[in-house]
């Protein structure tokens, strides 16, 4: 049987009643199957088969199968975002995530109250604005001890007025008295 004839007969059986066939098609059908009755019966059989193509399965069958499937596959592995992972890898990943979160946790934010004066035309008011810590100025007094050395040059002994050369002790005493008393 030619491929074209096979497809043509198949098509006619599926879509047309015998009454709807053209004269040419009826001749073709007679040649292939032998006549109207054979065509009609075969068509009934095909249509009946098509109607029974799909038949609803009880939902419990699916539930049971899915349960079986999960039972078999989820004991040792776990599929996460498209990747199948063994149980130990899951545990390691979990630990890694916890540790990462712990260390990467942001430090506590310090809120500083600061008074900001805003000048409005014809009106003066004070707004309290809470801002996160910005620049902090710390005033410190630092006491530093620095040793200071002063150098003094002594005058030449020869020029000292207090030493009078060539005089006795009594002369010197007399002279001192004179100078002190001013007489």
Partner 1 sequence: MGLFTNYSNKTDEQLMILIQDGDHRAFESLYERYANRLNGFFRKMLWSDQEMAEDNVHDLFTRIINRPELYKQGYDVKPWLFRIASNMCKNAYRKRGFEDAYRQQLEEYQITIPSVERKIDEEIQTEMLHKALDQLDEDRRTIFLLRYQQDLSLKEIATIFDLPEGTIKSRIFYIKKLLAGVIEDDENVLKDGK
Which residue, 74, 76, 55, is CA-closest to 66? Answer: 74
The reply to whether 81 sits near partner 1 by the rule CB under 8 A is: yes
Beta carbons of 10 and 32 less than 8 angstroms apart: no
Q: CA distances (Å), 146 to each of 140, 143, 149, in order?
A: 18, 10, 10
In DSSP terms, 131 is beta-bridged to 112
Joined together, the tokens standing for residue 86 give 């063994």
The reply to whether 46 sits near partner 1 by the rule CB under 8 A is: yes
CB of 127 to partner 1, least distance (A): 48
4, 19, 54, 138: which one binds partner 1 (CB under 8 A): 54
Beta carbons of 178 and 164 less than 8 angstroms apart: no
The reply to whether 39 sits near partner 1 by the rule CB under 8 A is: yes
Residues in the chain, total: 183
- The separation between the first and the last C-alpha atoms of the chain, rounded to the nearest angstrom, is 169
The reply to whether 50 sits near partner 1 by the rule CB under 8 A is: yes
Which residue, 114, 155, 151, is CA-closest to 132? Answer: 114
CB of 10 to partner 1, least distance (A): 8
How many residues in the shown chain lie near partner 1 by CB under 8 A?
Answer: 41
The reply to whether 74 sits near partner 1 by the rule CB under 8 A is: yes
CB of 139 to partner 1, least distance (A): 57
Q: Which is nearer to partner 1, 69 or 96 (CB)?
A: 69
57, 101, 127, 144: which one binds partner 1 (CB under 8 A): 57
The C-alpha torsion from 69 through 72 and 74 to 79, rounded to 10°, is -60
Contacts to partner 1 by CB under 8 A = 1, 3, 6, 9, 13, 33-34, 37-39, 41-42, 44-46, 48-50, 52-58, 61-62, 64-66, 68-70, 72-74, 77, 79, 81-82, 84
């Amino acid at each position: 049987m030619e491929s074209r004839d096979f497809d043509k007969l198949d098509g006619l059986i599926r879509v047309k009643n015998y009454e709807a066939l053209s004269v040419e098609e009826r001749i073709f059908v007679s040649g292939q199957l032998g006549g109207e009755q054979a065509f009609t019966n075969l068509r009934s059989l095909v249509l009946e088969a098509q109607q029974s193509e799909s038949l609803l399965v009880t939902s419990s069958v699916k539930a049971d199968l899915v349960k079986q499937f999960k039972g078999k596959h989820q004991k040792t592995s776990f599929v996460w975002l498209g990747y199948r992972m063994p149980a130990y890898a899951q545990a390691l990943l979990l630990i890694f995530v916890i540790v990462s979160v712990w260390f990467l946790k942001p430090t506590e934010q310090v809120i500083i109250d600061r008074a900001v004066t805003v000048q409005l035309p014809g009106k003066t008011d004070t707004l309290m604005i809470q801002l996160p810590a910005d620049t902090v100025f710390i005033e410190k007094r630092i006491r530093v001890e620095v040793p200071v050395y002063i150098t003094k040059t002594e005058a030449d002994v020869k020029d000292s007025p207090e030493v009078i050369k060539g005089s006795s002790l009594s002369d010197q005493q007399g002279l001192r008295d004179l100078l002190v008393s001013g007489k």
